Each structure stands twice: as C-alpha cells, then as structure tokens.
Amino acid sequence: MGLIVQKFGGTSVGSAERIVNAAKRVEEEKQKGNQVVVVVSAMGKTTDQLVSLASEITSRPSKREMDMLLATGEQITISLLAMALQEKGYDAVSYTGWQAGIQTEAVHGNARIKNIDTEKIKSDLEEDKIVVVAGFQGSDSGNEITTLGRGGSDTTAVALAAALKADKCDIYTDVTGVFTTDPRYIKGARKLAGISYDEMLELANLGAGVLHPRAVEFAKNYQVPLEVRSSMDKENGTVIEEEPKMEENLIVRGIAFEDQVTRVTVTGMPNGMTSLSTIFTTLAKNELNVDIIIQSLTDEETSSLSFTVKTHDLEDTLNVLKKHKDELRYGSLESENGLSKVSIVGSGMVSNPGVAADMFEVMASEGIQVKMVSTSEIKVSTVISQKHMVRAVEALHEAFELSKERAAIS
C-alpha cells in the first residue's frame, strides 16, 4: 500500500460533473489499495469572480479581507468533492488549509508554507479515510487566514506530499502533460514522457504555465516524484523527477516564451558596483521584479544599464526610479515596449557547447533581431520583438527537432 497525493486544478473541478469525474480518479487510486490525500483548487473562475465582486465594493481592499474572501473558493470545492466520494461509499473528510495543519508566514496574499502539522491527516489515513484539503491557503501563528498566491494549490499538494512522505504526487490538469512548447501556439509541440526538476523549474520560471515554480522547487528539495496528467484522459502524463529516463539525443528539452516584456535603460550612471546594488535594492524594496540585465560602460566614468520587467510593472518601475533619481545619480531613463522573451531549456546543453550559437543562427536566418541575452547552464533566453515571438518559437522547435518521437534510454 502506498500514499498518493492528488491535486485537481480549477478546470478539473469546474462543474458538478467534473467534480464527480475527479472523484472517479480518486476512487481508482483507492481501489489499488493506496491511501489518498486530495488537494483541490476553487471551481473554474470562482477566484476571478470573487476578485471582481470585491472590486465592486472597493478599489483598495485590504489584503487580510481578500484572503478571507478568496479562501472561500476552495472551501466550496472540498465539501462537494467529499460529498461525491461519500456518495460512492467512501469515508471522506474535507479540511480547509488551517484545519489540515498548514502553517504559513504572516503574509497576506503571497504567504510561504513554514510547516505542516500532519497529525490529523495521518490519523484519518490510518482510519482508511480519504482526506480532501483546500489548496492555496493556510494560517499564520496568530491564526489569521493566509493565501499562498499564484499557483498556491500546486504548492500545497507538493508540500503535503513532502510532509507525509508520499510515494508520488499527481497533478491533474486540463492538459495531458508537459509539452516541448505550448501546443496552443505550436502545432508540432510534443508531450514529454519525463523531465528533470531543474529543467521543469527553468521552464516554469520562464513562462510555462503547467506548474508553478515554487511547487517544482518544493518537489526538488524534498525529492517528491511528480506526474502532470490529464483529469479527463487516462493516458500517462509527464513524470518530473531528479533523473528521468532521458530521450536519446535530446539536447534541448523545451521552449518557453512570454510576451508583455519591456526593456528599461538607465543611462549616465556612475561606474561602480554601488550604483548597481542601489538600483536593484531600491526596486526590490518596492516589490518590483527584474529579469534580464545587461550593463555596458559608456566611458571611464559612466555606464548604462538595461533590464527587463513585466510590461504591467513599467509605470511603477519608472516612478520608483524617478523618485530616487538623486540617490541613484543616473542621467536619463528610456523604455521599449512590445517585446517578448523566448528561451530554450535542456540539461543536455551542459555537455554540448554551441547550442547558443545554433539558436542565434536560427534567429538570424529568420531575420529576427536579438535585443538581449541571458544564459545559465541549461537555458538560453533571448529578448526579441513581440511580433516575431511565435515565428521564432516555430523555427527553434523545428531546428532542434523537438517534434520527433525519440527512444528513451535508461
């Protein structure tokens, strides 16, 4: 007998019919003799509807009250799924995040899990109960309800799997697994049988929306095997683990891309590390995330700095820099909208030099100008015009032969 944690996303529990379907998936694991803990998101667009409802009351709701409001979405789902399982004759019990012992830091809207008291869940499992837990939520040391931010239900599921030392964590979603790139844009996108934690973490951070980066990081740190699979189809999904079965000759595993990228250029900065640290410390204190960074010396005394931000953060970024201009001592600010980021990811890059050059050659052959570049051991990211994004991904997908089925090697 094993212990399986299953997570069902909002689409997978978006109606009464889909909740009953999710209950069937839980039943299948139970019939195999496994203990089962289920984590669920709010139904469909429930969270969006609650946010919209709050906006009708106030344009500036407090973060505490938003957590109180949003946490109700998952509470609906857990009770309905528990009912569906009870209807099938199983002893099921539902818990909110705080009832399940999920303890977080005292931050509203984007809290991190600090600890999970598993005593209650373990006791229920020993009594052969199916435990249904609300994702996305917990409570702090002062018993205040907190939420975990975007992707919080994924994080809840993986954290519970780690705390319970589960044999596996299955992430059920509306796609059949992790693809070489987004199949909604690229017809030749192919589902991967397996991918490493590091590769999945890069893809998640670079815009692939299948899993949240925090959940992948949890899985890697605690060595929790994950499988991303469809809640509607019974085919195998994509296994995410430390050393998956590698696909022969697959140097690049996947391509991630995102639009709404803006480049900010700060000119006339005094040379020296102090200027750099001051700028990025100032932005960080204002909760503004910076991505790709390039610095170039203008002359012996001054330099310019370019970095990318999400387009929706541009106004706040410029306002912060302008507000602190005397302290930062720069000359002027420039910005360029309408950009996108296209990245190739693959652990095979470590032992195969020249992959970046191949990527740039593909871009050049398509007449696509590369404006910025960022690299790590297993990824190369480029910033290009947003209008060329899909064409670039198509060309790279073809050049690295990602559509081809390949034999797995141990």
Among 287, 293, 278, smallest CA distance to 324 is for 278
Separation of alpha carbons 220 and 217, rounded Å: 5
State the pLDDT at residue 406: 61
pLDDT class of 404 with cuts at 50, 70, 90: confident
Mean pLDDT over residues 112-126, rounded?
97
- Cβ proximity of 234 and 170 under 8 Å: no
Q: What does the pLDDT average to over 304-322?
A: 95
Q: What is the pTM of this model?
A: 0.86
Cα dist from 3 to 19, 40, 399, whole Å: 21, 17, 42
Structural domains of the chain sorted by starting position, each given as residue range(s) with its CATH number in brackets: 3-174 (3.40.1160.10), 244-410 (3.30.2130.10)
Rounded Cα distance between 238 and 191, Å, is 7
pLDDT digits (tens, 9 = 90+) for 249-283: 578 999 999 999 999 999 998 887 677 889 999 99
pLDDT given for residue 343 in this prediction: 96
Helices (H) and strands (E) in the chain, counts: 12, 20
For 121-166, the pLDDT digits (tens) are 999 999 999 999 999 999 999 999 999 998 899 999 999 999 999 9
Find the length of the chain. 410
pLDDT at 205: 87
Determine the Cα–Cα distance for residues 111 and 146; give it in Å rounded to an integer.
6
Buried b (16+ CB within 10 A) or exposed e, 344-371: bbbbbbeeeeebeebbeebbeeeebeeb
- Above 80 in pLDDT, residue 111? yes
Provide the 10 A C-beta neighbour count for residue 312.
9
pLDDT for residue 337 is more than 50: yes
d(CA 262, CA 349): 28
Q: At 410, is the pLDDT very low, low, confident or very high (cuts 50, 70, 90)?
A: very low
SS3 content of the chain, % helix, strand, coil (to 5): 40, 30, 35
Q: Are 173 and 210 in contact (CB under 8 A)?
A: yes
The span from the CA of 126 to the CA of 217, in Å, is 29
Name the nearest CA neighbour of 153 among 203, 82, 215, 104.
215
Mean pLDDT of the chain: 93
Buried/exposed 49-86: b ≥16 CB within 10 Å, e otherwise:
ebeeebeeeeeeeeeeebbebbbbbbbbbbebbbbbbe
pLDDT tens readout for residues 207-250: 777 888 899 999 999 999 999 999 988 889 999 988 766 555 57
Token readout for 130 is 């199916």
Asked if pLDDT for residue 409 goes beyond 80, the answer is no
DSSP state of 11: G
Buried b (16+ CB within 10 A) or exposed e, 208-234: bebbbbbbbbbbbeeebbbbbbbbeee
Share of the chain above pLDDT 70, in %: 97
What is the distance between the alpha carbons of residues 324 and 63, in angstroms, rounded to a whole number? Answer: 27
Per-residue pLDDT reduced to its tens digit, 169-178: 999 998 899 9
Q: What is the model's pLDDT at position 351?
A: 81
Q: Stretch 203-208: mean pLDDT, rounded?
A: 85
Q: Which of 232, 250, 325, 180 is nearest to 8 (CA)?
A: 232
| DSSP string for 260-295 | EEEEEEEEEEESSHHHHHHHHHHHHHTT-----EEE
Would the pLDDT of 382 be above 60?
yes
- Give the model confidence (pLDDT) of 32-64 as tens digits: 999 999 999 999 999 999 999 999 999 999 999
Q: For 106-130, what is the mean pLDDT? A: 96
